[in-house]
Structure formats: C-alpha cells, structure tokens
C-alpha cells in the first residue's frame, strides 16, 4: 500500500509541474496563439507594445511626408530633382502606410487617432513627433514658390527623415514583430540614402 501511495503522489506532483510550466510560457508578448497556426501566421500575430507604438507613430510620420510631397508636386517652378524626390517619397511611403494600418488591424489595435497631418496627434508620445514638421512650417511650405519652395522642402524633409531613422532604430532595438522590424531596417537604409541625396541637392541650389 505504501508503495502505491508514493507512486500516486509522484505522479500527481509531475502533473502539477507540467501545468505550472505550461502556464508560465509566452506571457510577455501579445497575440500568441495555439500551435495549430502556420509559422508565418504566428510571426504575423507576434507583436509587443513597441511594435504598436512604432506603427502608430510611423503612420502619422509617413502621412506628413506624403502631404509635404503633394504640396511640392502641386507647385510650378520647383527644381526637377526635388520634384523627382517628392515622387519617390510618395511612391515608397504610401504603400507602407497601408501595410502598417493592416498590421494594427491584425493586432486588434485602433489607429484612428493618428490620421492627422502635421498637427498634434494628442497621444503625448515623443516617438510620434521625431522630426515632425510643425503646422507653422507646413504653412510656410504651402506659401513658398520656385527655388524657395525647393530649398524649404529639402530642409524640412531632411529633418523629417532623420526623425524617421531615429524611430526605426529605436524600434529595431525594442520591437518583436518580424515584419515590423524588417520595415525598420528598410526605413533606416532607404531614408539615410535619401538624406544624402537631398543634402547634395540642397548644396547645388
């Protein structure tokens, strides 16, 4: 009898250990689901607060870059190289906005509070404001013409890109979602290259 009692006690203890072990895994990340999902689905669902903050902030940041590009593309007498840069920025960042909005929906997040262009998002999040152009400077860009508009656009967009690179570096360090981290890597490389290109344009004006 004593042998059977010991055996039952050990079995109960082992089962309890397995339950506790299973409950303690994967609690730090959002969107972790069961093993029935494919690897790619699990990767898409895996995210943390840094990913959400990054997507929300970068959507607003990209929206302002597109707005600034639209402003310069509506003007006449702008330097042709500046016009091409504005087109390039709009072409690259428009699809990225949609991609990040899709992530937020997939993660069950609401980005409706981040639709503004050039204003205060009201979020109180410093990351969202890195390199953002003030409403007053947006008005100056709208009022400028020709070479003045070209110069002002380059000055503002260089600073804007520098802010985006900082945001991307911070997210690359802290983020978890593979797709979002990959976008951060691309933002760092692409926008650093555009910063160099715009500085060259600025020096030639």
- Could you give the dihedral angle defined by the CA atoms of residues 151, 153, 159 and 165, in that order, rounded to the nearest 10 degrees? -130
Residues 56-84: tens digit of each pLDDT = 999 999 999 999 999 999 999 999 999 99
> Residues of 71-107 as b/e, b for ≥16 C-beta within 10 angstroms?
bbeebeebbebbbebbeebbebbeebbeebbebbeeb
Question: Does residue 205 have a pLDDT over 70?
Answer: yes
Looking at residue 130, its pLDDT comes to 87
Residues 158-183: tens digit of each pLDDT = 999 999 999 999 999 999 999 999 99
> What fold is seen in the domain 41-106+132-204?
Ferritin (1.20.1260)
Structure tokens at 63: 């929206």
Looking at residue 160, its pLDDT comes to 98
Contact 142, 161 (CB under 8 A): no
């Amino acid at each position: 009898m004593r042998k059977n009692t010991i055996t039952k006690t050990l079995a109960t203890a082992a089962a309890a250990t397995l339950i506790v072990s299973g409950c303690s895994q994967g609690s730090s990340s959002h969107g972790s689901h069961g093993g029935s999902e494919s690897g790619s689905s699990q990767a898409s669902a895996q995210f943390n607060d840094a990913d959400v903050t990054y997507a929300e902030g970068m959507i607003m940041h990209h929206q302002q870059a597109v707005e600034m590009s639209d402003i310069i593309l509506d003007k006449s007498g702008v330097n042709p190289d500046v016009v091409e840069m504005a087109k390039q920025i709009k072409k690259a960042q428009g699809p990225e906005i949609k991609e990040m909005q899709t992530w937020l929906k997939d993660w069950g997040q609401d980005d409706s509070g981040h639709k503004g262009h050039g204003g205060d998002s009201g979020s109180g999040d410093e990351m969202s404001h890195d390199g953002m152009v003030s409403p007053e400077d947006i008005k100056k860009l709208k009022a400028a013409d020709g070479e003045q508009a070209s110069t002002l656009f380059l000055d503002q967009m260089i600073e804007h890109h520098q802010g985006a690179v900082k945001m991307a570096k911070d997210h690359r360090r802290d983020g978890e979602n593979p797709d979002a981290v990959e976008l951060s890597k691309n933002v760092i490389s692409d926008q650093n290259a555009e910063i160099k290109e715009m500085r060259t344009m600025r020096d030639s004006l």
